[in-house]
Chain A
Amino acid sequence: QTVVTQEPSLTVSPGGTVTLTCASSTGAVTSGYYPNWFQQKPGQAPRALIYSTSNKHSWTPARFSGSLLGGKAALTLSGVQPEDEADYYCLVYHGGGQGNWVFGGGTKLTVL
């Protein structure tokens, strides 16, 4: 069974920069895995931030960016704001033409 791994928790200072990563047990994450990133705050539905590695939605703040880094998908927040404190999940496609999307376990980002 495919496992997607994220850092369980990260802490960043306001105004700082932090990178969250997303690794697959099947090997290097490439653009063909079409990684997505989501933000979830307590009591709310997840909100999409990034799709297909690096594409932003119209509502995605400019300080969020997606990329591939060292065989992993990455989400970088530059100039972190207090309101960025949330859980972040990646979602990667593992091919086969079926619904084989797998979520990571999530990263709890604390802004302190």
Chain B
Amino acid sequence: EVQLVQSGAEVKKPGESLRISCQTSGYSFTTYWIGWVRQTPGKGLEWVGIISPSDSNTKYSPSFQGLVIISVDKSISTAYLQWSSLEASDTAMYYCVKSASSSWYLGSDYWGQGTLVTVSA
């Protein structure tokens, strides 16, 4: 059974750093890409970026380029999304998603349960 299990909710202050995780199981981790999606009440769903676990080739949405870093640890089949300096506008639910095939542009299939990130002074 394919599973994407994300880390728990986080409450942070502006300027703090954060890394959230997405632990996967039930499939070959290095065969499929892992992406991240942000959801806020005001802006809806937004694509953050996607990474190939096999070689860490990463593609970021222009809106998130330079603001976040996506990485993986192949040894534990886990993907990460990290910030070096959070802002209040980063407050959102973040989902990890698995690509539907080895060709990342075709789309996604499985989603994690989401990690709520709250940034507030």
Contact = CB atoms under 8 A, between A and B. Distances in A.
A1 to B, nearest CB: 8
B100 A46 contact: no
Given A45-B95, A51-B108, A51-B109, A98 B62 contact: yes
Given A34-B105, A52-B106, A57-B100, A45 B47 contact: no
Contacts of B27: none
B108 A36 contact: yes
A7 to B, nearest CB: 14
Interface size for chain A: under 10, 10 to 19, 20 to 34, or 35 or more residues?
A: 20 to 34
A45 B111 contact: yes
Interface in A7-46: 34, 36, 38, 45-46
Contacts of B48: 99
Could you tell me the dominant secondary structure of chain B's interface residues? strand
Interface in B18-74: 35, 37, 44-50, 59-62
Contact of B44 (A52, A57, A89, A99): A89
A51 B109 CA distance: 8
Interface in A79-103: 89, 91, 93, 97-103
Contacts of A45: 95, 111-114
Given A36-B107, A46-B37, A47-B111, 19 more contacts: A34-B105, A38-B45, A45-B112, A46-B95, A48-B100, A48-B107, A48-B108, A48-B111, A51-B108, A52-B100, A57-B100, A89-B44, A91-B45, A91-B47, A98-B60, A99-B59, A99-B60, A103-B46, A103-B47
Nearest 7 CB-CB pairings of A with B? A51-B107, A99-B59, A36-B107, A101-B47, A103-B45, A52-B106, A99-B49
